[in-house]
Structure 1
Amino acid sequence: MNFFSLTWFLPETIGSFLWESFWYLYLIPAVPLVFLLKWLLHVRNQQKLRISLPEKYIRFSLVSLFRFVPSGMLGIAMIFMLVALARPQRSNERIEFLSEGIDIMLVLDISKSMLEKDFLPNRLEAAKQVARNFIKGRQNDRIGLVIFSGEAYSLMPLTTDYQLLTQTIDQINSSLIGSEGTAIGSALAVTVNRMKTSESKTKIAVLISDGDNTVGNLDPATAAELAFMYKIKVYTIAMVKVQNFVSDSLAVTSDENTLRKIASVCEGQFFRANDASG
């Protein structure tokens, strides 16, 4: 803002400052009143000459205006003094609010066992809802997506495009990966591979699964140690309800111990989803 700009006197400009003693500003209108009172007293006490001069001898001179300069300068000085006494405070520095630089990888199990219906309509759809709710709660963090069943694939790189990420999650189904089984170790390995070069101060993986590891060349515990080595905290969410439930089509399977151990090794935390909202 230009120092000599009249925008300094706009209400929004004044309101943008913090004033330690705002009440001094209320005295500013009194400054011209002081000079008006001084002028009135001067006129009252002035000895008027009774000499009448012809109008042609009365000429206006710009020089005569200079007699108001001292009073004007004094008035301006008084106004600035009152502003100074009000103690305005404002930072001209541009403040940028930066995220903490958290990188998060969602690791979603889409294996056949996730079609169990202890959640409605099934575990997979409930897990997708958990993922969507998680994304809604984030701001400025980069989030990626890994899916797995018998194999693991990186479906979305780390991104802040939450809308695209959510749309991708909406389209996930159990037929995206042809190989059957649940390879949790492979999923963690893919996650580590995607996050190991990240320069983020905090790296997190959220593993959403029923915990039933059945295939894969890499043991989940070993993969967890690998994640820990790259400073990736792994939080696990078990998509299993603790209840006496027997599926008509598939055997109800789960292994919470695997998920608990992964969370423990990676200094994360284990959770159990209680409903479709997580």
Structure 2
Amino acid sequence: MEQWYSLRWFTYDIIRSYEWVYPYFLYLLPFVPFLFWIRNAFHRRHKQRLVITYHSAKEGKDWLTLLRFVQPVCVGLGICLILVALARPQVVSERTDRFSEGIDIMLLIDISDSMLEKDLSPNRLEAAKLVARQFISGRLQDRIGIIIFAGEAVSLCPLTTDYELLYGFLDEIRPDMIPTAGTAIGSALAVAVNRMRETKGDSKVAILISDGDNTSGNLDPTTAAQLAKAFGVKVYTISVGNNIKKRVKSDTLSVPSALVDETELQNIAGLGDGKYFRATDNRTLGEVFQQINQIEKVKSRNVISRDVSDYYRVYLYWAVLFLLIAIGTKSTFMANILED
């Protein structure tokens, strides 16, 4: 803050920037000259007059005569500044801080052999990775982790807000990362619950992407879904692929392609207080993630903080200064000793 004796405190910009706590004191400022008129009216009859002949030594204004007005002007300015100080000028600056309550999201991606089917382009797994990447880029301040599973489940990336790190892990996902064959949905869900059970997030979400064909693992998917509900983890399930039975010719044999088991995923979503989605192509898979993105929005709250700075002391100091000048000049040649 500038020194109190700076003349900048009387500029228009500074005065305009103030908020006045008691503005009604400012309404008394026009009456200050009226006080001097009243004083003059009451003392007019009691004034002592001495008739003398006075000739100015100089033409024009006599500056010595004008100095007699210093004392009453200082008194008037002092009173005005006291009123300004009583009005309590303040500068109030408001700041709005937005606090976001992040969501803990665990992506569970099936990398079993059935995810290599090409009913999505270029295959189910690559389509899931692409849309998962788009989903991550649309989140804000959420902690996101990745779990991959086939015959067993592996925590690939813990919950983090480093989205670039997540992109790197997504790019590295390959079917051969887990040599154990099968699809352990229950185990994957159990790993996700274990990762999120001690987190402090207000909302915990597991997004399971699979063809729904649970063929391995030590934990039943139904039990894992009940466990997720107990720890407050909401489970969304997405089945990728379609249910149309296809047959792929291999030499002279006809081999049925991998089919999507919707029943298992629907049951998991129901038990996990989530929702089941079906994605039969790349476009619908993207729409599914957009729906989840809308459902699980980041909750935010605005906190307004007010920084209040009082400046009444500046004008009070000026008032004291003018009053001291008025007192100091009262018994000098600047005052009219005949009136006092």
TM-score normalised per structure 2: 0.60
**What are the ranges of 5 or more consecutive residues in structure 2 without an aligned counterpart?**
34-52, 251-255, 288-340
Once the two structures are TM-superposed, the CA of residue 73 in structure 1 deviates from its matched residue by: 5.4
Indicate whether 1:271 and 2:277 are aligned.
Answer: yes
Q: Where does 1:149-188 land on structure 2 (aligned, <5 Å)?
A: 149-188=150-189
Once the two structures are TM-superposed, the CA of residue 260 in structure 1 deviates from its matched residue by: 0.5
Once the two structures are TM-superposed, the CA of residue 230 in structure 1 deviates from its matched residue by: 1.1
Once the two structures are TM-superposed, the CA of residue 199 in structure 1 deviates from its matched residue by: 2.0
Q: Where does 1:69-80 land on structure 2 (aligned, <5 Å)?
A: 69-70=74-75, 72=77
Indicate whether 1:52 and 2:53 are aligned.
Answer: no
2:183 match: secondary structure? coil
Structure with the greater alpha carbon radius of gyration: 2
Once the two structures are TM-superposed, the CA of residue 217 in structure 1 deviates from its matched residue by: 1.6
Once the two structures are TM-superposed, the CA of residue 80 in structure 1 deviates from its matched residue by: 8.4
Once the two structures are TM-superposed, the CA of residue 225 in structure 1 deviates from its matched residue by: 1.1
TM-score normalised per structure 1: 0.72
Aligned partner letter, 1:165: L
Matched residue, 1:255: 261
Aligned partner letter, 1:207: L
Once the two structures are TM-superposed, the CA of residue 149 in structure 1 deviates from its matched residue by: 0.7
Indicate whether 1:220 and 2:221 are aligned.
Answer: yes
Q: How many residues align?
A: 248
Once the two structures are TM-superposed, the CA of residue 3 in structure 1 deviates from its matched residue by: 10
Q: 2:241 touches 2:281 (CA, 8 Å); kept in 1?
A: no
2:257 match: secondary structure? coil
Q: 1:178 to 1:138 in 2, by over 3 A?
A: same
Matched residue, 1:43: none
**Superposed CA offset, 1:157-212 (max 9, x none):** 11111121122112211111111111101101111111111122211111111111
Q: 1:147 touches 1:153 (CA, 8 Å); kept in 2?
A: yes
Matched residue, 1:118: 119
Matched residue, 2:108: 107
**Superposed CA offset, 1:104-130 (max 9, x none):** 111111111111111100100111122
Q: 1:61 to 1:229 in 2, by over 3 A?
A: same
Q: Which has the higher contact order (CA 8 A, sep 6+)?
A: 2
Q: 1:99 touches 1:141 (CA, 8 Å); kept in 2?
A: no
Once the two structures are TM-superposed, the CA of residue 232 in structure 1 deviates from its matched residue by: 0.9
Once the two structures are TM-superposed, the CA of residue 137 in structure 1 deviates from its matched residue by: 2.3
Distance 1:7 1:245 in 2: 85
Moved more, 124-133 or 248-257: 248-257
1:139 match: secondary structure? coil
Q: 2:242 touches 2:259 (CA, 8 Å); kept in 1?
A: no
**What are the ranges of 5 or more consecutive residues in structure 1 without an aligned counterpart?**
36-48
Q: 1:58 to 1:104 in 2, by over 3 A?
A: same
Matched residue, 2:318: none
Matched residue, 2:290: none
Matched residue, 2:143: 142
Moved more, 209-218 or 114-123: 209-218
